A and B are shown apart, each in its own frame.
Chain A
Amino acid sequence: MGAVSAVATTTTHAPAGIGESGLQFAAAPQAGPDPSGPPKSRSRLTTPARLWAALIAALVAFLAIGGTCAATLATRQASETHAAGSSEQLVQNVNELYHALAEADATAATGLLVGPVQPTRLTDLYNSDINQAVSALSTASRELAGDGAASKQLSNVAGQLPLYTAYIATAQANNRLSYPVAGAYLHEASKLMHDQILAEVQSVADEESAAQRSGQAEVTGFPIWIVVVGLLAATVLVLCGRELSRSTRRRFNVGMLWGALIALAVVIWSLVAVSSAANAANRAQADFDKVATTLWDRDSLALADSYQSLTLVDRGEDNGTDAQAQAKALGNVDSAELTGDAAALYTKLRQQMHNVQSAVDGGDYSHAVDLIVGHGSQPSPNTLNSDAAALDDALVKTFNNDQASYASDANSASSALSGAVWGGLIGGMLAALAAAYGINRRLAEYR
């Protein structure tokens, strides 16, 4: 909440500044000169009063420019920090939750296929997946505590996960005795996982992804308020300048001129900062797209893997729905984006899955099990299982690289803005001081 309240404080300046300058703009012509009849209209106000009015109008205009620039930059910086920080981490956490759950399901099914004695490495992997899922779930729940709907979804997941693990445990106990009802328990657990738990997690993941995207979009938008307030302030300042030159019979007021120069510098500095932050944010968004794609690829592959094993547990009793769901999950992998090892492993994995499907179509489940996991307690090389693990490792590497680029680009977007925030505030005040000094010199002539 620190970031949000900081934003609230700085942003509230913007509307207030706009309002006041607008008011001043409307008031200025009344207080200022009337070209058509100078002597009559001027006669209502004394020269010092007109000078005071110009002084106040100029102060408000300069402070409005400085304030708007600072508020715009601070808002964008807060958006960027939020997108790069909590939103991106949430996307990462929720995707990791999805992946850990899908992998746990795949591992549980594979463990049943191997035989009555599940190899220790599969037991360890399953336990570690559940542990990772619970850890990601509790972190995500904490981060989403203020979001009622997402909290409800994650709370549903938290409620269903113990049921899932209980069904898997029952399946494992029956499998230990070689009872086929193990497959029925596993099937029920998988149904719960796929149809309810993963569906909830996916929905939260999609929403967090959109929130991250929208946060990044804030940083790349056109800085409309700087332009609007800048133009309004410039109009007010031009009117003030004309009034001053008439009242004081000097072409320029030196203080006002300095103020205007400082204000111009502030606006230019802010626009440059906004534009360079937008460039960095666009790069960050491209990095994030890669990160999201990689995370989603991992999720989809784990899901395909889990349906693959389920196909062999169901042994045709699913009427082909397992294979369809598997093909759909596999189709969600963005294969065009895969590079290097990952691309080669993906091609190999697809071929392996095709071979397994051929064995299943021919009713040769024993051979299909061999293709997936081999028989025995040691991990067999060149099984679908080992290739899927290698592909996942390759994708994690890709993720780490893209994630580092994202963090760096998001950081440069944020730091491009940070200096200019103070520049806006201080510049606005300096310009106001210069104008006050300049006009006060003229006022002094009447004391």
Chain B
Amino acid sequence: MTQPTNTRGNGERTMVTTSGRPTLRHLRSKPRTAAFLAAATASALALAVSGCSAGVVDVGAHPNVSVPQPGALVTGSPSAGPTASSPTCNTAALSLRPTAGDATSASVNSIRQRGKLVVGVAQDEYLTGYLNASGQETGFDVDIAKQVEQAIFGNQDPSHIQFRAVTNAERITALQTSDPAQAVDMVVDTFTITCERAQQIQFSSVYYNAYQKLLVLKNSGYKSLDDLGGKKVCAQMGSTSLQKVTTYKSHPIAYGVTNLTDCLVALQQGQVDAISTDDTILAGLAEQDPNTVVVGPQLEPEPYGIAVSSANTDLIRFINGVLATIRGNGTWQHIYSTSLQPALGPQQPPAAQYAD
């Protein structure tokens, strides 16, 4: 029934109109031939009919309004989810031990000569990596990255560090590309260490252990996924969190979104009952709505690491040195307490382990 129709203006645009249009409009603009008398009668009738149907609303009716849906229900187990860590490697101990000469190694010197450390970060994850209202990068990951900057240049100065927003999918390619407009020296972006990823890039030692948890309304009474059987739980499409929700024994209903912030919209609009993802992200969402709270047992850990290109072994040793320093001198604790602690409670930095 759809008819390919009108071009408009100079005819550049072709459009499809709705199907089954009444002929009134066409008759209105074609008032000729003997059919016109019939047309006039028909239009009078149509006016009378439409006047009856469109002129009066049902008293006391409460029509359903279709509100925007930020996501969609997910049935079955999502196949596109990233595979979990292979049991054959220890993700906590994949990285290289710092050595004495790291600060003057070739990789670090080239960054120093360039005068700028280029860091791939998120710009939309509140409390971890976020471009704030003044146009400045803020968050836990960003502060960790600034510690590396300070170790290279001796101080923290916006002219010494350039943040480049990377999407989750770009985190690996930005380290591998040779295009100077896209390339970054390192990625600090809630990047979970997996054995599969470690074959393409290098990770630092673990600087934070995240856990998949739940964000619920404070008065909801939900404590874990066990309480959410038959309830809608929001997670990112293609994520391990979504996979866990769809396969969980209490049978929650998975609700997938593209961007995790959309989960908060869905929660606030009453479209879902809970949000499930890394506790760091949940802390960022909880910070934006005082009526929500992060709950749930610590499930499988998601160890976060700083990533660099696989060729840069001296840079990763240097970064591990920086992480070792901030674990020991209280800087890590300070950064954590100003960003994530209010929502996630006090924590100690994860102990460093190395492969060599």
- CB within 8 Å of B: which residues of A? 1, 4-5, 7-8, 11-12, 14-15, 75, 78-79, 82-83, 87, 115-116, 145-151, 153, 159, 163, 167, 174-175, 177-181, 183-185, 187-189, 191-192, 202-203, 205-207, 209-215, 218, 289, 292-293, 295-297, 314-319, 332, 334, 337, 358, 361-366, 369-370, 375
Does B54 sit at the interface, judged by CB under 8 A?
Answer: yes
Q: Are B29 and A180 in contact (CB under 8 A)?
A: no
Contact partners of B26 in chain A: CB under 8 A: 211, 214
**Chain A: CB-nearest residue to B165:** A363
CB distance from B176 to the nearest CB of A (A): 15
Prevailing SS type, chain A contact patch: helix
Q: Flag if B126 contacts A179 (CB, 8 Å).
A: yes
Residue contact B29 to A188, C-beta cutoff 8 Å: no
Min C-beta distance of A329 to chain B, whole Å: 11
Which residues of chain B are near A146, meaning CB under 8 Å?
24, 43, 46-47, 50
Q: A151-B50, A206-B6, A210-B6 are in contact. Are A11 and B32 (CB under 8 A)?
A: yes
Which residues B128-169 have CB closer than 8 A to chain A? Answer: 130-136, 162-167, 169
Give chain A nearest CB distance to B128 CB in angstroms: 11
Residue of A nearest to B258 (CB): A317
Contact with A along B102-146 (1 / 0, CB 8 A): 000000000000000000100111100011111110000000000
Query: Given A11-B31, A82-B29, A210-B5, do A184 and B262 touch, yes or no (CB 8 Å)?
Result: yes
| Distance between Cα atoms of A192 and B69 in the complex (Å) | 9
Cβ of B247 under 8 Å from chain A: no
With a cutoff of 8 Å between Cβ atoms, the chain B residues found around residue A318 in the complex are 258
Q: Which residues of B contact A145 (CB under 8 A)?
A: 50, 54
A415: shortest Cβ distance to chain B, in Å? 19
Whether B34 lies near A15 (C-beta < 8 A) is: yes
The answer to whether A317 and B167 have CB atoms under 8 Å apart is yes
Cα distance A214–B28 in the bound complex, in angstroms: 10
Chain B residues with CB below 8 A from A177, complex form: 288
> Is there contact, CB below 8 Å, between A148 and B22?
yes
CB distance from A5 to the nearest CB of B (A): 7
Is B29 a contact partner of A163 (Cβ separation < 8 A)? Answer: no
Write the B251-276 contact mask toward A (1 if CB under 8 angstroms, else 0): 00000001101101100100000000
A-facing mask of B84-110, CB < 8 A → 1, else 0? 000000000000000000000000000
Interchain nearest-CB distance for A77 vs B (Å): 11
Top 7 A-B pairs ranked by shortest CB distance? A363-B164, A293-B9, A184-B261, A15-B34, A363-B165, A179-B288, A8-B40
Write out the residue numbers on chain B whose beta carbons fall within 8 Å of the beta carbon of A363.
Answer: 120, 123, 163-166, 182
Extra A-B contacts (6), CB below 8 Å, given A181-B285, A218-B31, A315-B165? A146-B50, A181-B289, A189-B68, A209-B8, A332-B12, A364-B165
How many residues of B sit at the interface, in one of the four size bands? 35 or more
Chain A residues, Cβ within 8 Å of B80:
none
Shortest distance from the beta carbon of A216 to any chain B beta carbon, whole Å: 9
Whether A181 and B8, one on each chain, are in contact in the complex, defined by CB atoms closer than 8 angstroms, is no
**21 A-B pairs in the complex with CB atoms less than 8 angstroms apart:** A7-B40, A12-B36, A14-B34, A79-B32, A115-B135, A178-B132, A179-B288, A180-B130, A181-B261, A184-B265, A187-B70, A191-B68, A205-B8, A214-B29, A218-B31, A292-B8, A293-B10, A296-B8, A316-B123, A319-B258, A361-B181
Once the chains bind, are B37 and A218 in contact (CB under 8 Å)? Answer: no
For chain B, residues 1 to 58, give those with C-beta under 8 angstroms from any C-beta of chain A. 5-6, 8-10, 12-13, 15, 17-18, 20-22, 24-26, 28-32, 34, 36-37, 40, 43, 46-47, 50, 54
Does B17 contact A5, Cβ atoms closer than 8 Å? no
Q: Which residue of B lies closest to A369 (CB)?
A: B135
Nearest A residue to B19 by beta-carbon distance?
A: A149
Q: Do the beta carbons of A206 and B5 come within 8 Å of each other? A: yes
Query: Can you name the residue of chain B whose Cβ is closest to the Cβ of A362?
Result: B181
Separation of A82 and B68 alpha carbons in the complex (Å): 39
Q: Please give the distance in Å from B304's CB to the nearest CB on chain A.
A: 20
Say if the beta carbon of B67 comes within 8 Å of chain A. yes
Question: Chain B residue with minimal CB distance to A184?
Answer: B261
Residues A82 and B21 in contact, CB atoms below 8 Å apart: no
CB of B300 closer than 8 Å to a CB of A: no
Return chain A residues, CB-CB under 8 Å to B70.
184, 187-188
Enumerate chain B residues within 8 angstroms of A362, measured Cβ to Cβ. Answer: 164, 181-182
A79: B residues at CB distance < 8 A: 29, 31-32
Write the chain A residue with the least CB distance to B267. Answer: A181
Contact pick for A334, options B10, B24, B162, CB 8 Å = B10
CA distance A210 to B15 in the complex (A): 11
A148 with B46: in contact, given A202-B15, A206-B17, A365-B165 (CB under 8 Å)? yes
* A227 → chain B closest CB, angstroms: 14
- Give chain A residues whose Cβ lies under 8 Å from the Cβ of B196: none
**How many A-B Cβ pairs are below 8 Å?**
202
Q: Residue B164 contacts which of A78, A319, A364 (CB distance < 8 angstroms)?
A: A364
For B29, what are the chain A residues with a Cβ–Cβ distance below 8 Å? 79, 82-83, 87, 211-212, 214-215, 218
The answer for the CA separation of A387 and B250 in the assembled complex, in Å, is 56
B65 at the interface (CB under 8 A from A): yes
Assess the A203–B15 pair: CB atoms within 8 A: yes
A147 to B28, CA, bound (A): 10
Q: Report A141 CB to chain B, min CB distance, Å.
A: 10
Bound Cα distance A202, B43 (Å): 25
Specify which chain A residues have a CB less than 8 angstroms from the CB of B40 in the assembled complex.
4-5, 7-8
Q: Give, as a whole number of angstroms, the nearest-CB distance from A171 to chain B.
A: 10
Q: Nearest-CB distance from A383 to chain B (Å)?
A: 14
Q: A75-B32, A363-B163 are in contact. Are A315 and B120 (CB under 8 A)?
A: no
Which A residues touch B164, using CB under 8 A? Answer: 362-364
List B contacts of A87 (CB < 8 A): 29
Contact of B166 among A11, A289, A316, A337 (CB under 8 A): A316
Q: Measured between alpha carbons, how far is A189 from B20 in the docked complex, in Å?
A: 30
B124 near A188: Cβ-Cβ < 8 Å? no
User: Roughly how many angstroms separate A122 CA and B162 CA in the complex, as a whole number?
Assistant: 30
- Shortest distance from the beta carbon of A286 to any chain B beta carbon, whole Å: 11
Name which residue of chain A comes closest to B169, CB basis.
A319
- Are B124 and A317 interface neighbours, CB within 8 A? yes
Is B226 in contact with chain A by the CB < 8 A criterion?
no
Q: Which B residues are in CB contact (< 8 Å) with A191? A: 68
Distance in angstroms between the alpha carbons of A315 and B137 in the assembled complex: 13
Is residue B170 within 8 Å, beta carbon to beta carbon, of the partner chain? yes
Question: Closest approach, in angstroms, between the C-beta of B92 and any C-beta of chain A?
Answer: 29
Q: Contacts A184-B261, A334-B12 known; A365 to B123 CB distance under 8 Å? A: yes
- B36–A207 CB distance below 8 A: no
A7 touches B123 (CB 8 A): no
Q: Which residue of A lies closest to B34 (CB)?
A: A15
Provide the residues of chain B in CB contact with A315, threshold 8 Å.
123-124, 131, 165
A297 to B43, CA, bound (A): 34
Question: A314 CA to B258 CA in the complex, in Å?
Answer: 11
Smallest CB gap from A174: residue in B: B288
Residues of B within 8 A of A213 (CB): 6
A238 to B37, CA, bound (A): 32
